[in-house]
Structures are given as C-alpha cells and as structure tokens.
Chains A and B, each alone.
Chain A
C-alpha cells in the first residue's frame, strides 16, 4: 500500500503569477516523459522484473509521485491568481474553456496523457534501458523548461528535479549491471 505524507519533497516557490511557465510545466505532468508516466512505468514493471531490482523500482516509482506533486504545486502557484485574460495571453485559453483552473494530465501541447507513453516488455534489460532513456529525456525536458524560465524561485525547484533525474538514471544503470552480474554468475558452474 502507499501512505501519503503531508509535505512536499522539496520546497516549491514561485516569484510571480506566470501562466506561460505553467503551460510549459504541464509537459512534466501529463507528457510522455513526465512524472506521471515515470511513476506508472516503474511501478508496473515491478511484477515481472527479477527480485534484485524490485526495491529500486518501488522506491523510484514512489519518488516520482512526490515529483508529480511538486509539478502540480508549481502549476497551481503559477496560475491560481491568473485572470481569464492572462490565461488567454499565455495560450491557455483552450485549457481554460475545458478545465477552468483545474490541472489536467496532458502535455504542453494539450495532448491528453495516454498509457501508450509507457512500454512494458517483460524483458528486464529492455525495461531498464527504457527507464534510463526516460530519465535522460525527463532531464533534458527540465533543462529546456529552465532555459525558458526567468523565475529564479521556480528554477530552484526545477533544478532539484533535474538532478533527481540524473540520480535515477544512474541507479537504473547500476541495476542493469547487477542483473548482468547475476546472469553471468548463473552460467559459471
């Protein structure tokens, strides 16, 4: 089971109401390489992966939900005081007419989240390589968003998330090596 903790993993601050930045950030909420996709991808792989890496998938998958909440908090804080006119100016008019200020699982282009973003091959190496690629893509996306952002408070939180992608990718690389070692050990009698 999962137990919710009533705090963010890392403080989220924003300098000003800025719906344009919120529009970019939604990519990491409901986009292909976003936090929701990451959490669902890793937790789903656990059932068919060797026991040795189940803990890692559980723990990274769980941390992704903490990141999803941080992204949601950023979007919420960037848009909570925005007028319909400001949302329109930021290109969020099409979002507003459907959702008002509610968050929705779609990407920066407004395409709804789909399970097709996630692969499940059942082959441990294939699955872990997908995970490494997903982390690297998410890291790159954070960098592109930071490049577009002029909000120093927001960027502090985004840099934290970017660094976590690096750590996760590193751990998944180590998991691949652990499985290879295990495989090679089994062959030697």
Chain B
C-alpha cells in the first residue's frame, strides 16, 4: 500500500466535514422541509462539496464509481487505500 502524505488526510477531513454537514442537513430537512435558510445553506454546501470532490479525485482517484467519477488509465477505482486502510 502506498504511503499517504499529510495533505491526503487534510483534504479527506475537509471533505468529511462538508459531507457531515450535508448529511445532517439532509436529515433535518426531511422533517423541516420549509426551512428556507437551511435549504440555502444546503445548496451552498452542495456546491462547495462539488469543488472538494474534484480536488480530491484529481490527486487521489475516484470516490465513487458506476460513472459518478472519471477514471485514469489504467482503471484506478480499485487502487488502495480502501477506507479501512487509511
């Protein structure tokens, strides 16, 4: 398994932070569908998330597959590390 640089952990944590807010807001909005401010926050974070995903995948490879991420050559979806190896 390749050694992961410090920057990997920093970027991963940034992504986890934004994604956590998005998960939590999703559940909140499931029971508070009329909270306009929360939806604004949700859409802002969703946009921020898109940028982070792009940044992460450019350096560290695809986060999702089935076509939700691009692939390098050769196919790099199954490159380590898998999440439990991080």
Contact A73 B31 (CB under 8 A): no
- CB-based closest 4 A-B pairs: A174-B31, A56-B30, A73-B84, A8-B83
Partner of B23 from the list A11, A63, A175 (CB cut-off 8 Å) is A63
Range for the number of chain A residues in contact with chain B: 20 to 34
Contact B16 A10 (CB under 8 A): yes
Please tell me if B68 contacts chain A, counting CB pairs below 8 Å: yes
CB neighbours of A175 from chain B (8 A): 30-31
Binary contact readout B19-57 vs A (1 if CB under 8 angstroms, 0 otherwise): 110011011101110000000000000000000000000
Partner of B19 from the list A9, A53, A174 (CB cut-off 8 Å) is A9
Please tell me if A72 contacts chain B, counting CB pairs below 8 Å: yes
Which residues of A are at the interface with B, using a C-beta cutoff of 8 A?
Answer: 3-12, 53, 55-56, 59-60, 63, 69, 72-73, 76-77, 167-168, 171, 174-175, 178
CB neighbours of B12 from chain A (8 A): 7, 11
Evaluate whether A7 and B84 lie within 8 angstroms (CB atoms) in the complex, with A59-B26, A171-B27 already known: no
Partner of A8 from the list B26, B27, B86 (CB cut-off 8 Å) is B86
CB neighbours of B86 from chain A (8 A): 7-8, 11
Q: A53-B30, A171-B28 are in contact. List 17 more A-B contacts (CB 8 A).
A: A4-B64, A4-B65, A7-B16, A8-B83, A10-B16, A11-B16, A56-B27, A56-B31, A69-B84, A72-B84, A76-B84, A171-B27, A171-B30, A171-B31, A174-B31, A175-B30, A178-B31
Range for the number of chain B residues in contact with chain A: 20 to 34
Contact B84 A60 (CB under 8 A): no
Contact B15 A7 (CB under 8 A): yes
Evaluate whether A8 and B16 lie within 8 angstroms (CB atoms) in the complex, with A3-B68, A72-B84, A76-B84 already known: yes
CB neighbours of B9 from chain A (8 A): 11
Contact B26 A73 (CB under 8 A): no
Residue of B at shortest CB range from A172? B31
Partner of A167 from the list B19, B27, B77 (CB cut-off 8 Å) is B27
Evaluate whether A6 and B64 lie within 8 angstroms (CB atoms) in the complex, with A60-B27, A63-B23, A178-B31 already known: yes
Chain B nearest CB: distance from A108 CB in Å?
Answer: 20
CB neighbours of B19 from chain A (8 A): 9
Please tell me if B66 contacts chain A, counting CB pairs below 8 Å: yes
CB neighbours of B30 from chain A (8 A): 53, 55-56, 59, 171, 175
